[in-house]
Amino acid sequence: MTQSVFIQNPSPLAVQSPYPAGEHSLPRNSGRALEMDWVDEIRINLSAAERRVASLPGRRTVKKDAQAGWLLKAVTCIDLTTLNGDDTAERVKRLCAKAKTPVRGDLLERLGFAGRELHTGAVCVYHRFVATAVEALDGSGIPVAAVSTGFPAGLVPHDLKLKEIEASVRDGAQEIDIVITREHVLTGDWRALYAEVRDFRAACDNAHLKTILATGDLKTLRNVAKASMVCMMAGADFIKTSTGKEGVNATLPVTLAMLRMIRIYQERTGYKIGFKPAGGISTAKDVLNYQFLMKEELGRDWLEPELFRIGASSLLADIERQLEHHVTGHYSAFNRHPVG
């Protein structure tokens, strides 16, 4: 009989609600005036960034109980997502049910985690399904995130973008994942990008603003870094890599560039900004590398859902498979771990 595995140190696995008692527990980024000197001074060494992230798998690895602990922590940071043209209310309700119980009870019991709260960081949907998700998650402490501003291309009129944000907030969304106008970055119009995101921040009111840079469309790491800094100065609570719809989505070099900007912004302003990689993170092995990089670059605080989210859907199924393998020694089929 397989021995029950008890996770020895509970503190890294404590499930911290993103917004305890309905409030934000970290001081929110209020933004600041656009400092063009901060933007103009940014330089990125591409080869150094690539070497840095290439060294991760060889330097960082976790096995057995430690790996199970890291993966359970990853579950609490997932923005469980459905953003498909054939989404339905019933699919969203199933996704919400999975968000509330992301790992099977028998596996949690074998891991020594029975009776402890475990849920995903949020559920992410289109505006049409915000009210459905809010109702399905009532009382769970799980926030609803709404993609907005003409997601994924972001090419609708600015006034409509603001109205979409306001409508999602009225329907109960606690987080708004906006897309920026990529043209502002590609033409170096940083003042236009700042003004756009500043308007989005105002429209969000008390909802958290997560700015999607669509990094695969921005061409260079320097553009990614500069856009990150401008969005934070405009008041973003999170910066996010991708919509998941671009040809290239989250990558470790892009993540490194964005994390370095978060570090600089914190050093200069005192505000901690969250980070969300999205698109293409589908295996437990993938997410561990992002967790390792987060901890190395920004520290332990950025392993919590208040400051780290992963935009994903199939990732949860693979994490559950890895946990099952850990306690039984056998891998199961993906269809035994439905997400939504």
Q: What is the pLDDT of residues 140-157, one digit of tens each?
A: 999 999 999 999 999 999
The predicted-structure confidence for 154-212, as pLDDT tens digits, reads as follows 999 999 999 999 999 999 999 999 999 999 999 999 999 999 999 999 999 999 999 99
The predicted-structure confidence for 62-83, as pLDDT tens digits, reads as follows 899 999 999 999 999 999 999 9
Task: State the CB neighbour count (10 A cutoff) for residue 54.
Answer: 11
Residue found by looking up tokens 């096995």 in the block:
63
Q: How confident is the model at residue 313 (pLDDT cuts 50, 70, 90)?
A: confident
- Provide CB contacts within 8 A for 4, sequence distance 6+: 109, 110, 111, 112, 327
Q: To the nearest whole number, what is the mean pLDDT of the chain?
A: 91
In the set 73, 161, 210, 276, the catalytic residue is 276
Question: Is 205 among the residues known to form the active site?
Answer: no
Question: Is 219 among the residues known to form the active site?
Answer: no
Q: Answer whether 156's CB lies under 8 Å from 113's CB.
A: no
Torsion angles phi and psi, residue 162, rounded to 5: -65, -40
Question: Is 138 among the residues known to form the active site?
Answer: no
What does the pLDDT average to over 273-290?
96
In the predicted structure, residue 5 carries a pLDDT above the cut 50: no
DSSP-assigned beta bridge partners for residue 240:
212, 276
pTM of the model as a whole = 0.91
Q: How confident is the model at residue 59 (pLDDT cuts 50, 70, 90)?
A: confident
What does the pLDDT average to over 19-35?
78
In the set 79, 177, 217, 286, the catalytic residue is 177
The predicted-structure confidence for 314-335, as pLDDT tens digits, reads as follows 999 999 999 999 999 887 776 6
Query: Under DSSP, is residue 210 helix (H, G, I), strand (E, B) or coil?
Result: strand
**One-letter amino acid identity for 209?**
L
Q: Answer whether 223's CB lies under 8 Å from 250's CB.
A: no
Q: How confident is the model at residue 10 (pLDDT cuts 50, 70, 90)?
A: very low
Alpha-helical regions (H) of the chain: 36-40, 46-54, 56-59, 64-75, 89-100, 105-110, 130-136, 158-170, 182-186, 190-204, 221-233, 252-269, 284-298, 314-328
The predicted-structure confidence for 103-142, as pLDDT tens digits, reads as follows 999 999 999 988 888 999 999 999 999 999 999 999 999 9
In the set 240, 272, 286, 318, the catalytic residue is 240
Q: What is the pLDDT of residue 2?
A: 34
Q: How confident is the model at residue 11 (pLDDT cuts 50, 70, 90)?
A: very low
With a pLDDT cut of 90, the percent of the chain lying above it is 84
Q: What is the pLDDT of residue 19?
A: 53
The predicted-structure confidence for 196-247, as pLDDT tens digits, reads as follows 999 999 999 999 999 999 999 999 999 999 999 999 999 999 999 999 999 9
